[in-house]
Structure 1
């Protein structure tokens, strides 16, 4: 009788085990994203790599057009139809999702220890008490240059601002090429690849960024005025039609070999790999006179969060843990040159220019764009103001001092720490 009951118990346990295994085997995860350009990489590279370890978890990558993502995602979350994993933009858009209860805190994931405080800051509450997405990648700002023209004109890669302008002057004097491939028609480049590119060397990266948030520094202070002064000096080297020049125009001038230096975001690497038929390299923002320490805008760009309403949280957490591994970091970085892992793992990149960019992390201190955390929540929006005033400084319609005064006045209107 005992043997009979023992056999029944074992059979029952085996049955439960099979049910559990079957349930897990049936698990499917859906990833919401705006990165429709990356579909092939997710389907052909990233998901298959994860499935080698977890073949029972089926994953679908379901991107929307970037411009429609925020509104579309919010509608899906509100309607209960969103996927299990939510690709998160940095700072306020994702913070709002967390505050509404749409995505959950992930501080208890073991892999979170692989990310620095700066890496996690874009997906944390203001007080840092909760982190609600696993950081995936950042983009780095600097300058991309045509190596063949540098060799032709006998130019050396500049490390200081004085050397930078010497190089620009030599290119201009030669007369064959546009020194700087940069325009102001779209405005955002003036702030993103101009002001935010060279500025950290003046406001000392995180030290200055946090001082603005704390209200102990102002945009009328010397580091900000001097950044716009340097930016204004670019104008004579940007070509005759730069005021009507849009972002794709600047890319085309560079890839066609008509311009020599391109103020860049690292995401441009993939475009240039496809379109340029010459060798190109990269250098970090040249140091101001008297400076010995360099800073780079290593801007947090993309992360993955967990839908609070997901019925597949256990499987989703397994995938999120995998995002913190060296394997994912290496796969992602080499599949998308110019998007750099935010984990602390050392990653070897196959793309030589991407490797140049990421090597700057060893010699420079990383920071993020100073308008993205907290300071663009009010009206006027600081990020939009920076677009406008930086383009005007380059166009010669606003002085650096006026740019500083206008942005500080705008911030003071609504941001209490700047009102004292």
Structure 2
């Protein structure tokens, strides 16, 4: 029914005050972070590692698709042609290590709600996250906001975004109201519903092929990336988290460990691949 798109939300007022341009490459991204840190008015990025999933979802799954090339890498991991110890899967962790100096004092004890508050109170300039924050942030932030997609390695590279299905509705095969439910689901799949829903809940985007014009500028910015980026879904969600250890949950832990400095990117990758190998045998 709807998906959410990963990226970075930023404080436009802070960027204007510091004379910053929206980064498109990784070098530009870190140059912007350096300038924000040097000025000292704002925490460069609001993200903590206390809740674990924040480090994985806002960090690893946000920037990762540009490294493992979206669906190509995700499907290769499922088929066993690639491993989590390959460079395409380790290198996003190497970038997350570089985020550490920009997360502010005490980020290790910072929860998801703490990060939200730091940004909406105007204390942080950039919030690595996704479109699901738009509704909340619109009611809380007293400054103009913008969004940019995960920076690419160099200009001209193919760019990828995590455009992840987040909400679905189904019909129970044993329902005693089959016809009524089918009518409802047919409407949910309609162009009319797509337009109503995407505008009523900005940041949750229609998966209908019908193009939807959104009145919320921040939501429109996120969804516009579909025009020049290749979409993929979070790498751990399909198939790879059906066993124990669950790859999604393990990725939460290792993403936080890498940023905290308790595991190196290589160590994290080795742990994740070992856990996956213990129950998932793609060759079979």
Unpaired stretches in structure 2, ≥5 consecutive residues: none
SS in structure 2 at match of 1:416: coil
SS in structure 1 at match of 2:28: helix
SS in structure 1 at match of 2:164: strand
What is the TM-score when the length of structure 1 is the normalising length?
Answer: 0.67
Query: CA contact under 8 A between 2:25 and 2:155: conserved in structure 1?
Result: no
Provide the rounded CA distance (Å) in 1 between the counterparts of 2:228 and 2:239.
28
Give 1:319 deviation, angstroms.
1.2
**Shift in alpha-carbon separation, 1:418–1:291, aligned structure 2, 3 A:** farther
Q: Quick one: which of 162, 178, 185 aligns to 2:43?
A: 178
**Shift in alpha-carbon separation, 1:183–1:291, aligned structure 2, 3 A:** farther
Question: Which has the bigger relative contact order, CA under 8 A and spacing at least 6?
Answer: 2
Aligned counterpart, 2:143: 278
Give 1:232 deviation, angstroms.
0.9
Deviation per CA, 1:215-274: give whole Å up to 9, x if none: 110000001111100111100000011000000000000011000000012111111101
Aligned counterpart, 1:221: 86
Give 1:289 deviation, angstroms.
3.8
Aligned counterpart, 1:403: 268
Aligned pairs for 1:13-412 within 5 A: 136-289=1-154, 292-412=157-277
Aligned counterpart, 1:95: none
Provide the rounded CA distance (Å) in 2 between the counterparts of 1:313 and 1:254.
46
Let me know the Cα RMSD of the aligned residues. 1.1
Deviation per CA, 1:71-119: give whole Å up to 9, x if none: xxxxxxxxxxxxxxxxxxxxxxxxxxxxxxxxxxxxxxxxxxxxxxxxx
Unpaired stretches in structure 1, ≥5 consecutive residues: 1-135
Provide the rounded CA distance (Å) in 2 between the counterparts of 1:241 and 1:199.
25
Q: Between Structure 1 and Structure 2, how many residues are aligned?
A: 284
Provide the rounded CA distance (Å) in 2 between the counterparts of 1:260 and 1:243.
19
Provide the rounded CA distance (Å) in 2 between the counterparts of 1:225 and 1:275.
36
Give 1:211 deviation, angstroms.
0.5
Moved over 3 A (4+): none
What is the TM-score when the length of structure 2 is the normalising length?
Answer: 0.98
Give 1:418 deviation, angstroms.
6.6
Aligned counterpart, 1:413: 278
